[in-house]
């Protein structure tokens, strides 16, 4: 845990509070690592906790979108923004959840490269436009999602997941956040 | 509270849990309104709470950046993204906190339009580039902030505030979120 | 009248010719100020006169577009170009002519943010595209205006008003032209 | 004079007022044609006159910029905007005034393609940035012109010529204005 | 042959191999010059030969596209990329092959400026989009070509010609390659 | 060999000429596959041969750039253009030649994400700018390469490799070319 995970000199609280240490131990046990984004935020436990809570609410709570779909959005947003950290970490998540390395690669490189369902094309097209030109979003963009079978609640979730990665992409880019090396070989 | 605040059909939990109702009552008392973004999230209390917690941590917790500086970043990011909701609401916050309507207008329209300190030019230039081309951020961008007197902890906060509004700008754009009318006349 | 209105050292002709002085006095009487753009041009009376003549012809002469519509186009063009001077001055004009502060704010921030008639959406969409990608204009763009009820003469006027503010936005940006402070509080 | 010069159905006033007819006759005599832009505006004599007056003031009145330099700016702006009418008409003007067909071609295609004086590189670089990203203009941009020997009055003229062609490019694009065929072979 | 044709110090093989000399002599005889692009590559005969072979295969071999159509694509791609060398050389080729100087100028300046057949609008629109946003190409783009009467083999050729000039535009830009002066006056 | 490798109906010559068959057999033996790009071109042997010859000359012939460096350029160009085919195939090549999966991933995602030598940063920065804005290349861009130790001959090679992938990215995008599945797991 001694490697620097960003270009900023912001060491983790030491020792970590018991709750945080327990959470990190759990990560280690389940993922084989503590994701560097958590270490990056751990210079301040309130910041770590509020970031993690929103992340978990968006990516893991019940939704009309599967976890895989949420990860697909995460990676497509990160592809537009060329985010090194998020493409590595969430590219791995897509491979893992889908058991399909090619799908993960396509989300990283260009989702138009492979065949996808109409549902997924609509979802990713919306996330891409929202990332590139948020000021141009309009009713027909929402209608296209409804036409592809998404509910208003689903649209909320697509928007929030896409929005969230537009945030984390920029935090990672601004701080030169480095993904854990272990991601590269996962689920290949 | 019966007007629709977004284009999505996602009514607030009714009745609101006591804690939430108390929070909304407090907003009403202190701000004269419940900001529509809170009503928009209130179809799901977990989502509302995790969003609010991160917001409060970023915008209100202790930081090397003043509250006004954080609002200035919020508005400049929202200006790049042409976000109707955030420009209205946080433009008002800049006017309010600075007691300077012209400063608020310049953040909305073009921060290069008025004279600013070197510190603020560096801070807003960083936030603007991070919003427009996150994939091009590099060490000289961070160094420019350090040269203007910002600490690494300050850089973290600039990045996270700019990141956060890149998220909320997109949530608002994707859902056609409408700001409360009361903002328009505030602190003019 | 002693403040510098641009970053350029180009003082007004002194004394002003009688006609010009009379025009400036009239501005003062009717508007409570002499708009800084006029002072900026007043280092050379021929330049001031030819600029003013074209401005008046476009913005005040009879047209199928109302004066408010012409000001709406002015502000939307200036929003794309992030023009400090024109957003302040013509944002105020939209508020004044419409008696609707919210409409003025939406033109400054994002015209897609509020509900508009089909006529106004077509008009502003055309002005926005013409500003962003003039080389891509084509017959379907004109046809969309005709379909929204505009005559060929109206299309001419939309094009010329949008064109004019693409000029003045750049003159203001290139010279750091400062709007009169009085605009900020007008018609709020 | 019976060909349509734009996609709009806006016939010239018929008969033209004596002054206008005399001006058109003079054009015919000196240029061998009446430039189509004048015919396009001639559906309304006030509009024609105010447009012509500003054009003449900018392009022909005394200035620290030569007439050729003003035409070079006109063409470089029109190249960024891909304006068919202005590139044809003002490309011819550059060839004519410089007696250098290659210079005219380079202004149309890419001014970086040929060797130019530092003065001209600074002037065209400023006009290009002003055209592409007016909202990003700042003091160093003006300083670069001063460093290349331009006075503040010259900067005004560069800004206004560049601004003017950002207007006419858009009027031409919006109306599909067609340049006179005679330009193509001029000064080759 | 002693003038430098690029900004790089890469002199031609001297003496040229017999085959190359014969090829250059043939150019001189048929075109009145050796195109500078060939001299630029002639510092290495293998590079010259492989470049020429691909060029000839694409531009001269049998195809559902006429030679003129292939040159039109070449110029439109070069117009997007503002390539000095290719606009000069292939603009001349369009004028020559079409015997229509105006067509050549429109390809250089803006193909939307003149009236074209539906076939040519579809072909040039495809080449333009492929040049600007290759990552956004999708099945409807190919279908639009089929709807305009192009076969799959024709689509291949459009893609390869557009691709080739996206290569040569960049080789020319990166090396400051200078077109032969003789092109400027050709076929005017 | 029966799967379609592009969206176009252009079957391979059948049977292949002996030379081509031998070449494909050699690919199969050395790479375990025939790269789909070769199959895509094999509907016409002249086109296949001229494409392959240029490819081999650029990527395999002696150069001041290592084969790995040429592949790094290939992938960075393809990352800007979001080219599915080339990112998959040449990303694998970078992993293979460098024996460093992380390097390959960074070239695909964002070369600024990892630490690189000044030489490689200069090389990739040049290739990136040449891909994004070829019309803005200028002498300082070449000088930056010379300052990083590159010879004029090296600059030629960087420009030609970057140019080549700007071609192939567009051929692949226009035809929906599919990379062989085998690449995904190579050198992980």
Q: What DSSP string describes chain B?
A: --S--SSS--PPPSSPPHHHHHHHHHHHHHHSS--HHHHHHTTSHHHHHHHHHHHHHHHHS--SS-HHHHHHHHHHHHHHTT-HHHHHHHHHHHHHHHT-HHHHHHHHH-GGGS---HHHHHHHHHHHHHHH-GGG--HHHHHHHHHTT--HHHHHHHHHHHHHHHHHHHHHHHHTPPPPGGGGGTT-
Q: Residue A61, Cβ neighbours under 10 Å: how many?
A: 13
User: How far from each other are the two terminal CA atoms of chain E, in whole angstroms?
Assistant: 25
pLDDT one-digit tens code per residue, A38-53: 999 999 999 999 999 9
Residues of D in contact with E110 (CB under 8 A): 82-84, 87
- Alpha-carbon distance of E120 to B160, in angstroms, equals 49
CA distances to A17, A119, D59, D76, D163 from D62, rounded to whole Å, are 75, 64, 9, 21, 18
User: Distance (Å, rounded) from C-alpha A28 to C-alpha A24?
Assistant: 6
Q: What SS3 state is found at C162? A: helix
DSSP string, A138-159: -HHHHHHHHHTT--HHHHHHHH
Report residue A38 as tokens.
Answer: 């958590």
Neighbours of C45 (CB within 10 A): 15
Evaluate whether chains D and C are touching (3 or more beta carbon pairs less than 8 Å apart): yes
DSSP 8-class letter at F113: G
Per-residue H/E/C for E72-106 = HHHHHHHHHCCCHHHHHHHHHHHHHHHCCHHHHHH
> Is there a contact between D102 and E181 if contact means CB atoms under 8 Å apart?
yes
Distance of CA F88 to CAs A129, F102, F159, Å? Answer: 24, 14, 22
> Rounded to two decimals, what is the model's pTM?
0.98
Chains F and B touch (3+ CB pairs under 8 A): yes
If you measure CA to CA, which chain B residue comes closest to F129?
A: B136
| Angle at the Cα of C186 from the Cα atoms of C184 and C187, rounded to 5 degrees | 130
Complete DSSP assignment for chain A: --S--SSS--PPPSSPPHHHHHHHHHHHHHHSS--HHHHHHTTSHHHHHHHHHHHHHHHHS--SS-HHHHHHHHHHHHHHTT-HHHHHHHHHHHHHHHT-HHHHHHHHH-GGGS---HHHHHHHHHHHHHHH-GGG--HHHHHHHHHTT--HHHHHHHHHHHHHHHHHHHHHHHHT----GGGGGTT-
- Is any Cβ of chain A less than 8 angstroms from the Cβ of B81? yes
Q: What is the dihedral of CA B81, B82, B85, B86, to 10 degrees?
A: 50
Residues 20-79 of E with CB under 8 A from F: 43, 46-47, 49-51, 53-54, 56-57, 61
pLDDT in tens, F98-118: 999 999 999 999 999 999 999
Which ipTM did the prediction report?
0.97
Q: What residues of chain B lie within 8 A of the CB of C188, using their CB?
A: 184-185, 188
Contact (Cβ atoms closer than 8 angstroms) between residue B41 and residue B168: no
Q: Touching check for E110 and chain C: CB below 8 Å? A: yes
Residues of chain E in contact with residue D109, where contact means CB-CB under 8 angstroms, are 82-84, 87-88, 108
Maximum separation of any 2 CA atoms in chain D, in Å:
52
- Quick: pLDDT tens for B114-173: 999 999 999 999 999 999 999 999 999 999 999 999 999 999 999 999 999 999 999 999
Dihedral sign (CA C137, C142, C143, C149)? positive
Condensed to tens digits (0 to 9), the pLDDT of residues E29-84 reads 999 999 999 999 999 999 999 999 999 999 999 999 999 999 999 999 999 999 99
Q: B-chain residues within 8 Å CB-CB of F112?
A: 135-138
D109 → chain F, closest CA residue: F135
pLDDT per residue, tens digit, chain A (188 aa), is 457 899 999 999 999 999 999 999 999 999 999 999 999 999 999 999 999 999 999 999 999 999 999 999 999 999 999 999 999 999 999 999 999 999 999 999 999 999 999 999 999 999 999 999 999 999 999 999 999 999 999 999 999 999 999 999 999 999 999 999 999 999 99
Record the tokens describing residue C114, joined without a space. 């509020």
Query: In this complex, does chain A touch chain D, defined as having at least 3 beta-carbon pairs under 8 Å apart?
Result: no
The gap from C-alpha A75 to its chain's centroid, in whole angstroms, comes to 6
What does the pLDDT look like over D127-171, one tens digit per residue?
A: 999 999 999 999 999 999 999 999 999 999 999 999 999 999 999
In three-state secondary structure terms, D88 is helix
**Cα–Cα distance, C82 to C90 (Å, whole number):** 13
Over the stretch E94-151, which tens digit does the pLDDT of each residue have? 999 999 999 999 999 999 999 999 999 999 999 999 999 999 999 999 999 999 999 9
The verdict on a CB contact (< 8 Å) between C114 and B84 is yes
Q: What is the dihedral of CA F72, F76, F79, F81, to 10 degrees?
A: -120
Query: In this structure, are residues C33 and C182 in contact, taking their beta carbons and an 8 Å threshold?
Result: yes
Helix or strand run (H / E) with residue F94: helix F84-98
């Amino acid at each position: 845990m001694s490697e620097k995970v960003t270009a900023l000199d912001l060491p983790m609280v030491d020792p970590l509070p018991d709750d945080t240490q327990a959470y990190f131990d759990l990560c280690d046990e389940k993922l084989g690592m503590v994701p560097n984004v958590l270490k990056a935020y751990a210079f301040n436990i309130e910041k770590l906790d509020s970031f993690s809570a929103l992340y978990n609410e968006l990516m893991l709570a019940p939704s009309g979108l599967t976890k895989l779909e949420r990860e697909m959005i995460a990676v497509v947003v990160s592809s537009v923004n060329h985010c090194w950290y998020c493409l590595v970490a969430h590219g791995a998540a897509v491979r893992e959840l889908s058991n399909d390395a090619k799908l993960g690669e396509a989300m990283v490189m260009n989702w138009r490269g492979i065949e996808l369902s109409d549902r997924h094309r609509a979802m990713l097209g919306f996330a891409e436009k929202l990332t590139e030109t948020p000021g141009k979003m309009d009713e027909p963009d929402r209608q296209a999602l409804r036409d592809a079978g998404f509910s208003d609640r689903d649209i909320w979730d697509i928007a929030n997941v896409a929005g969230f990665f537009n945030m984390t992409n920029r935090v990672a880019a601004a701080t030169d956040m480095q993904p854990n090396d272990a991601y590269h070989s996962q689920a290949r």
